[in-house]
Structures are given as structure tokens and as C-alpha cells.
Amino acid sequence: MNKIYFVVIVLLVLACKQEKKENTVKQEEPKTTKDSLIFTGETHFKSIKQITFGGDNAEAYWSFDDKQIVFQSNNKNWNVSCDQMFLMNVGETFKDNIPPMISTGKGRTTCSYFLPDNKHIIYASTHLGDEKCPDTPLRKNGKYIWPVYDTFDIFVADLNGNIVKQLTNEKGYDAEPTVSPKGDKIVFTSTRSGDLELYTMNIDGTDVKQITNELGYDGGAFFSPDGTKIIFRSSRPKTEQEIKEYKDLLAEGLVEPTDMELYICNADGSDLRQLTDLGNANWSPFFHPSGKKILFSSNFEAERGFPFNLYLIDIDGKNLERVTHSETFDAFPVFSNNGKYLAFSSNRNNGGGRDTNLFIAEWQD
């Protein structure tokens, strides 16, 4: 659940920084760029284009042929009250026009992803539980929280917005689905075991298998380019107090996402290991096209909870490198299937407001 509302209030609620570990971050030499959307030092961006211009826009995922992108938005000018799914053709921008909505417009939706036929998407929605947008609690006892709606289920829809299949119907939270580049498997997060664990299933929803089983919120998972590995982020409580707080919140359908690290495993859950040990929130990971690096968002260098920037790290945990140089928020990085472009969300160029928009950068290693 790479929550879009994480963007909205992160600058307000993450006021205290947790102790961070000693790290050596590889910094590129700063350079001046003629592109005003590229900040000094962002040498991996050859060019950049802003796609949306208002509201909170995130979770932008490419079709398998790289011709279209599906994303979620709560832009009130697009006649929605909470996150819904929208479709764009690559190359389009939405400053004065509205993209087609391809979710039902009912309930809250999250985490859409294309299926291999490029004609269908999967996404999670609460609309079967209630057609109205659910409440969105964001603070409890002074701490920042995410709601984990037990009415989320995963659906398949065509590009006209028609639901053609329901993939999950277990009691509790089923969401955050993404598809293997091989086109054979889906990974998702579920509470069906009583905890927030990762599961895989076939594209048609069959052969569901639990692949993580340690206490903590395992989510935001993605397959490697060859489909053999999975990267995800987790808030694994360790002390008795942390475990109690985690269980108490989860019993209320809530989690606290301010202390997360990245984990990597084989696609069947074997060979699980922790990839980062940076402190604070490390999340929204995605494999570099080489399969040898992970691009992710983190605030581990921040003194007061922000900014969030993008970082690269090798899959063995070495060679940490800062990629973006924002003073606010960069997250949700997703490479195109051909590896030439990167879609991500950012607060840059929003006039100093809270809007989080989509950008597409031409990537260079």
C-alpha cells in the first residue's frame, strides 16, 4: 500500500527523526542543467516532463508495451472524492484536461497494475464494502498512521472501466498487487493470516501461496525484471513495546509506516534478507532494469522527517547513491519495461503547495 496520502501530510507529521545508521552515500558531482525540472546533481535524468498539475497523483505503472500508464489520483477537479484510477497514453499531459477514469468511481482504490495483454488492469478497491470513500485516519496518539481497510479486494478491469473478475474474496485486507514481468504471477499483501504478509498467485487468481511469515507490515512488493526475485518494504517490530504497539494498531486496522526497511527474497519467499539498515522510512522500491540495483525513496538523511529523495543501492546492499535532490518529496519510482524512462511522483514545481504530481524522466546510467 504505497499510500498516496503519505505524500500529503508527510511534511507535517514526521517531525522527529529516528536515529540513523552510519552510511556512506555516493554523491554525483553537481552540475547545472538547462531543464528547470531537474535539480542540480540529478545526473541520471537526461530530460524530464511533468504529466499532472494538481491534486495527489502517484503509483504510475507502465503497460507491458510501454504505450500507456495507469495511475491513481484524488484530484478534485477530476470529479473524485478519494483515490481513483486513471489512464493515460504515454506523451499526454493533463493540465487543462481530464484523463479517463477506469475504476468504478466508488469506494477508494489503490495500486493498479497492467496485465500482460495490455488490455486489462488489476487494482484494489473498497467499493464492495461501501460505495462511499472510507474515512482516512492519519494520526493516532500523536503518531502518523495508515488505515488498512479490510474491505479492500483485488479486481480485474478492462480499459473502459468494466470489472471483469474479482481475484480475492478472503476476509480482510487484500491489496497492493503487482505483476511479474514474466506475466505469470501476481504478488500482493493480505491480512488473511492475521498479519500483513506477502502472497503470490497466478494471473487468474489461482494457486495462492504465502511467501512471508514474520511479524510486521510486508508490502509494496515488486518483481525483478526476470521475475526471479521480489523487493519489498517492511516495518518489522522487534522490541516488546514495538510488537505490542504494532499488534494493537493492526487490530484497529491501522499501521505506523515511519520506520521501514527494504527486504529482498526469491519469488517463492526463500533466501529472505534485509537489504537496507538506514533508519526512518525506506519504501517504494523498484528494480533497476539491470536487476542488479534497487531504486527507492527514503528520508534517512532528513533531520525532521523530510525531504524524501530517491536512492540507488546494489542488491547486495552496497554502493548507496543519492539520485534526486529535492527539498520536499520524491517517491514511487517505476522504470518503463524498456528501461529508458522513469515515472515518479514529486512535489517539485507545485508552487510551494502540497500537490504531488507525476513526472517522466529520460533515464541515463
What does the pLDDT look like over 209-248, one tens digit per residue?
A: 999 999 999 999 999 999 999 999 999 999 999 999 999 9
- What is the pLDDT, as a whole number, of residue 139? 82
Domain ranges of the chain: 5-363
3-state DSSP assignment of residue 11: helix
Q: In this structure, are residues 124 and 111 in contact, taking their beta carbons and an 8 Å threshold?
A: yes
Residue 199 pLDDT:
98
Angle at alpha carbon of residue 72, lines to 274 and 289, rounded to 5°: 45
The least confident of 26-40, 83-97, 212-226 is 26-40
Q: Does an H or E element contain 48, and which?
A: strand 45-50
Distance of alpha carbon 51 from alpha carbon 108, whole angstroms: 22
Cell of 192: 488473511
Q: Which CATH superfamily is domain 5-363 in?
A: TolB, C-terminal domain (2.120.10.30)
pTM of the model: 0.92
